[in-house]
Amino acid sequence: MQQVYFDNAATTQMREEVISTMTDVLKHNYGNASSSYSLGRSSKSLIENSRKAIAKLLNVSSSEIIFTSGGTEADNLALRCAVRDLGVKHIITSKIEHHAVLHTVEALKKEYSIEVSFVEMDEKGVIDYKGLEKLLNGINTKALVSLMLVNNEIGNILDIEKIANLCEAHNALFHTDAVQAIGHYNLDLQKIKVDFLAASAHKLHGPKGVGFAYIRKNNHINPLISGGEQERGLRAGTESVHNIAGLEKAMTMAYENLESETEYIKSLKSYFISKVKEEIPNVIFNGLSGDLEKSTYTLVNMRLPIAANKSGMFLFQLDLKGIACSKGSACQSGSSQKSHVLSELLNADDLEKPSIRFSFSIYNTKDEIDYVVGILKDYINE
């Protein structure tokens, strides 16, 4: 049985170079970065060099990069501190954000009695930009807009510069979950006026358990986790030096190879779409994921023409054939609940049909696509 991993939007295989970097740090830079002796200073130096390298890739100051345990913590840090410390009384978001945002906003509404508004979308999940501007015009308190750069389920790409300009014009803060975008798209955060951004290493062939928050200077916040003075006093706790070094290595390599790897993965997605359309003509792509120009090149989300009585065990059957994919966010893959993203976009009948997300990386091949499409075709035609 062939083993095919097509769930790279959930997590990615680590690069060998990243593993090598992290192993070296674990062996030789095991000192506590808060210590004053040489082993501690070398760990501290590694952290700061990683911070500078990441900041340079985004064209920001190194003081604006705060290392976290991943994207979820970075989202929480931005949203909670914006409400608690920066006087935000109203958050505008969408109903297809990651739960790291939606559940945090829901909690903040209960804890601080803030107002929450949801921007309208069309049936493809495209944000109504004029509707967002209308919402901003109607708010007379401090507001924050939180919209993800690349949707993790349907791959839609936000016009981030347009949103940033709207927020700046209305004196609103702007937070974006960029977990699915960092390492895949160039971002100049001097040009694009984002106040807060979240990223995670394991989405770009780095280690799990580490990410960062970008916090634009002059947004003066207090820590969520109290303790020591690590991370400019904004994130207490002994730093995971090997993970931070792994994040920096993964991100540096992603941008060094961005052009060639983008071209390769995009060719895989293009081949997958054409192969599916050829072999399974009644397939429907959810959101904009079937559009190579308007969605990320890393994933597709498609609705298959399968009878309801066969759809319940569909993912299990794929797993038996060695195929790893998902019905949506990895965070809900163990749940029987339907995707909250697709629930906003599809009618009840379409929700009963299996929608599957396939996401690609540099480690995938066209032969794997042929195998997967063949399995899909056989199952549908049984």
Q: Which residues are catalytic?
A: 331
- Distance in angstroms between the alpha carbons of the first and the last residue of the chain: 20
SS3 372: helix
Q: Strand 173-177 and strand 196-200: pairing?
A: parallel
Residue among 304, 318, 338 at smallest CA distance from 153? 338
Helices (H), 170-313: 241-256, 258-279, 308-311
Q: Work out the angle between the directed axes of helices 71-86 and 99-112 (0-180°, nearest 10).
A: 30
Residue among 183, 221, 169 at smallest CA distance from 71? 183
Residues whose CB falls within 8 Å of the CB of residue 223, separated by 6 or more in sequence, listed in order: 233, 234, 235, 236
Question: Do residues 20 and 12 touch, judged by C-beta distance below 8 A?
Answer: no
For 47, half-sphere exposure in the C-beta direction (CA atoms, 13 angstrom radius) is 27
> CA-to-CA distance for 85 and 199, rounded, in angstroms?
22
DSSP state of 23: H
- 377's tokens: 């075709």
Total count of residues recorded for the chain: 382
Strands, DSSP E only, in 169-319? 173-177, 196-200, 211-215, 284-285, 299-303
> CA-to-CA distance for 137 and 39, rounded, in angstroms?
54
Residue among 185, 234, 228, 187 at smallest CA distance from 212? 234
Residue among 10, 11, 20 at smallest CA distance from 253? 20
> CA-to-CA distance for 73 and 67, rounded, in angstroms?
10
C-alpha distances in angstroms, 144 versus 9, 77, 115, 195?
Answer: 27, 14, 11, 9
Question: Do residues 77 and 197 touch, judged by C-beta distance below 8 A?
Answer: no
Tracing tokens 């006093």 back to the chain, one arrives at 233
